[in-house]
Amino acid sequence: MLVILGLLTSLLSFLYFRAPSIRKFFAGGVCRSNVQLPGKVVVITGANTGIGKETARELARRGARVYIACRDVLKGESAASEIRADTKNSQVLVRKLDLSDTKSIRGFAEGFLAEEKQLHILINNAGVMMCPYSKTADGFETHLGVNHLGHFLLTHLLLERLKESTPSRVVNLSSVLHHAGKIRFHDLQGEKRYSRGLAYCHSKLANVLFTRELAKRLQGTGVTTYAVHPGVVSSELVRHSFLLCLLWRIFSPFVKSAREGAQTSLHCALAEGLEPLSGKYFSDCKKAWVSPKARDNETAERLWNVSCELLGIQWE
């Protein structure tokens, strides 16, 4: 036992001693685009904290008019104030958006469309992870409702404005954990069997499938779309899991910062010449391997149709 403890202590000491070089290895890709965004309009969901906040900061630094769309308006205003001071860009605005409530989503879209005549970049960044079983205001399982259906509806409501502002882009944050996901059409709401870990994976697979189908339907419109794995990032996303919070704290020297996690979102929002890769999945600022389940066109189309039915919308 003493030998094992000694080996573990030595291993941990070595890891922490080598932390800077290990972190550099895991930091991943960096957005190299020099594109500036004066006159451009951006909407980012969940940009009051974490990856979304750092994405908003960089886009504001490039001159964009940035809308922070979030549930907690006070946190959003605090983030916006910080970003405005840091970037000297006064056009960082906060609007209420609760992705767990379709009335809130419709209210946000209605207000935005009345306020803005253009939308160049939509980043569907917000999400929940490892939630105990619960349902949204509309009766959807929370991971499905917030991570997939909420952004599906938001994109639908803003799509005409994106088409009027081409070239424009939609960036959907997914995760490498989509590989463990499955679209369980017989139990989408998790009422028969529920695992909060797998529920997150299922919703992230839905994000990739949505991106794939959206790209197919948007061919020739000037609107392109991309799915993104940000990496293993230190953020509030794991707040519902004590174990993950503990692991993130222990291994914090080795995981990405929010700024590093934002790089692939920024790459897909800004990089020139990315249009032929619409519908693809990116990690570390480059096209990445995607689960075979995420390449299933039949599943993608069926999920699209079921999502429309659940939301009561028609989307050709």
In tens, the pLDDT along 4-63 reads 655 556 655 554 555 554 444 455 789 999 999 999 999 999 999 999 999 999 999 999
The residue-averaged pLDDT of 220-247 equals 73
Which pLDDT does position 80 carry in this prediction?
98
pLDDT of residue 243: 58
Q: Given strand 41-45, what is the order of strands in its sheet?
A: 92-96, 65-70, 41-45, 121-124, 168-173, 223-229, 281-283, 286-287
Residue 200 annotated in active site: yes
* pLDDT score of 142: 97
Domain-embedded: residue 179:
yes
* Structural domain contains residue 198: yes
**Average pLDDT value for residue range 206-217:** 98
Give the span between the Cα atoms of 99 and 102, in whole angstroms: 7
What is the reported pLDDT for 123? 98
In a domain, 29, yes or no: no
Q: Does the pLDDT at position 170 exceed 70?
A: yes
DSSP state of 271: -
Catalytic one of 133, 194, 200, 281: 200
Report the SS3 class of residue 98. Answer: coil
Residue 25 is predicted with a pLDDT of 47
User: Given pLDDT bands bounded at 50, 70 and 90, which one contains residue 257?
Assistant: confident
Q: Which residues contact 142 (CB under 8 A, 6 or more apart)?
A: 100, 128, 131, 133, 134, 135, 136, 199
What one-character DSSP code corresponds to residue 139?
S
Containing 243, the helix (H) or strand (E) segment is helix 242-250
What does the pLDDT read at residue 315? 84
CA torsion 229-234-240-243 (nearest 10°) is: 110
pLDDT digits (tens, 9 = 90+) for 69-81: 999 999 999 999 9
> Measured between alpha carbons, how far is 300 from 12 in angstroms, rounded to an integer?
44
Domain that holds residue 174: 36-311
Q: Is residue 16 part of a domain?
A: no
* Residue 12, in any domain of the structure: no
The contacts of residue 12 (CB under 8 Å, 6+ apart) are none
Q: Describe the crossing of helices 196-217 and 297-311 by its angle, rounded to 10 degrees.
A: 100
Instruction: Give the residue, 63 or 234, on which the prediction is more confident.
Output: 63
Can you tell me the distance from the alpha carbon of 152 to that of 147, in angstroms, rounded to the nearest whole number?
A: 9
Q: Is residue 18 part of a domain?
A: no
Strand 286-287 to 281-283 pairing? antiparallel
Note the pLDDT of residue 231. 83
Please write the tens of the pLDDT for every residue from 99-151: 999 999 999 999 999 999 999 999 999 999 989 999 999 999 999 999 999 99
Can you give the CATH number for the domain in which 258 is found?
A: 3.40.50.720
pLDDT at position 245 over 60? no
Residue 3 lies in a domain: no
Average the pLDDT over 252-260 and give the result: 76
Please state the domain count of the chain: 1
β pairing state of 121-124 and 92-96? unpaired
Residue 1: inside a domain: no
